[in-house]
Structure 1
Amino acid sequence: MNAITKDRSDTLAPFGTRLDGVTDPVRKAAIGALHRSGLPDRRVEEWRYTSLRFLTETPLAAPAEVYDAGQVQAQLENLGLSTGPLAELPRLVFVNGRYAEPFSVLPAEVDVSFFAKTQTFGALSAPDRDPLTALNAALASDGAQLHVPAGKNGGDVLLVSLGQTDTPVSFHPRHSVTLDEGAQLTLISIQAGQGRYLHNPVLEISVAAEANLKHVTLQTEGQDAACLATTYAQVAERGTYDSFVLGLGAALSRQEIHARLAAPFATVHVNGAQMLGGKQIGDVTSVITHAAPDCISRQTVRNVLDGHARGVFQGKVFVDRVAQKTDGYQMNQALLLSENAEIDAKPELEIYADDVKCSHGATVGALDDDQLFYLRSRGVPDAEARQILIHAFMDEALGLIEDETARTLCTQMLARSFPVAGESA
Structure 2
Amino acid sequence: MATTTTSHGTSPGPSRAPEAAPRGFDPATARPFLEQFDRLKADLPGGSLSWVRDLRDQGRARFAQLGFPTVKNESWRYTNLRALDKLAFQPAVAAETGVRFDVLPTVRAAGTSGPRLVFVDGRFRAELSSTAGLPAGVELLNLADALTHKPDLVGEHLGRLATPDDLPLVALNTAFLADGPVLHVPQGVEVAEPVELVFVSVGSDEHPTSFHPRTLIVAEDNARVVIVEHHVGLGTGATLSNGVGEVFVGANASVHHYKVQREHTNAFHLSHTAAKVGGHGVYDNFILTTGAKLSRNEVRSTFDGEHGDIHVSGAYMVRGDQHVDTSTFIDHAVPCCTSREVYKGVIDDTARAVFQGKILVRPGAQKTDGYQQNRALLLSETAEIDAKPELEIYADDVKCSHGATAGELDDQQLFYLRARGIDKEAARGLLIGAFLAEALDEIPEEGVREAFQAYVSAWQNAR
CA RMSD of aligned residues (A): 2.0
Aligned to 2:10: none
Query: 1:361-416: CA deviations, max 9, x gaps?
Result: 01110000110010011111111111110111112211111111211211111212
Aligned to 2:97: 68
Percent sequence identity is 41
Q: 1:244 aligns with which of 259, 268, 286?
A: 286
Q: 2:272 aligns with which of 218, 225, 230?
A: 230
Q: Secondary structure at the match of 1:20?
A: helix
Aligned to 1:268: 310
Could you tell me whether the CA contact under 8 Å between 2:117 and 2:141 is conserved in 1?
no
Query: 1:186-236: CA deviations, max 9, x gaps?
Result: 000011113310011111000001000101100101110011011000000
Q: Does 1:174 align with 2:214?
A: yes
Aligned to 2:403: 361
Q: 1:116 aligns with which of 113, 125, 144?
A: 144
Q: Secondary structure at the match of 1:153?
A: coil
Counterpart code for 1:186: V
Select between 259-268 and 121-130 the one with higher mean Cα deviation.
121-130
Q: Does 1:159 align with 2:197?
A: yes
Select between 385-394 and 103-112 the one with higher mean Cα deviation.
103-112
> Cα distance, 1:89 vs. partner?
2.5
Q: Does 1:9 align with 2:27?
A: yes
Q: Which runs of 5+ in 2 are unaligned?
A: 3-19, 43-52, 148-154
> Cα distance, 1:343 vs. partner?
0.3
Could you tell me whether the CA contact under 8 Å between 1:95 and 1:161 is conserved in 2?
yes
Q: Secondary structure at the match of 2:69?
A: coil
Select between 211-220 and 25-34 the one with higher mean Cα deviation.
25-34
CA distance 1:396–1:420, shift in 2 (3 Å): farther
| Superposition misfits of 4+ residues, deviation over 6 angstroms | none
Could you tell me whether the CA contact under 8 Å between 2:276 and 2:303 is conserved in 1?
yes
Query: 1:221-266: CA deviations, max 9, x gaps?
Result: 1110011011000000000000100000000001100100111000
Q: Which runs of 5+ in 1 are unaligned?
A: none
Normalising by structure 1, we get a TM-score of 0.94
1:188-267 matches, within 5 Å, as 188-194=228-234, 195-267=237-309
Partner Cα distance (1:392, 1:50) in 2:
29
Partner Cα distance (2:26, 2:409) in 1:
44
Query: 1:149-171: CA deviations, max 9, x gaps?
Result: 11111231100000112231111
Aligned to 2:226: 186
Counterpart code for 1:11: T
Partner Cα distance (1:45, 1:197) in 2:
26
Q: Does 1:91 align with 2:91?
A: no
Q: 1:33 aligns with which of 62, 65, 72?
A: 62
Aligned to 2:381: 339
Partner Cα distance (1:328, 1:366) in 2:
28
Aligned to 2:415: 373
Could you tell me whether the CA contact under 8 Å between 1:218 and 1:246 is conserved in 2?
yes
Could you tell me whether the CA contact under 8 Å between 2:108 and 2:447 is conserved in 1?
no
Partner Cα distance (1:66, 1:52) in 2:
26
Q: 2:320 aligns with which of 269, 273, 278?
A: 278
Q: Secondary structure at the match of 2:349?
A: coil
> Cα distance, 1:26 vs. partner?
1.2
Partner Cα distance (1:54, 1:83) in 2:
40
Partner Cα distance (2:141, 2:110) in 1:
27
Q: How many matched pairs? A: 417
Partner Cα distance (1:13, 1:122) in 2:
23
Counterpart code for 2:170: T
Partner Cα distance (2:406, 2:95) in 1:
46
Q: Secondary structure at the match of 2:265?
A: coil
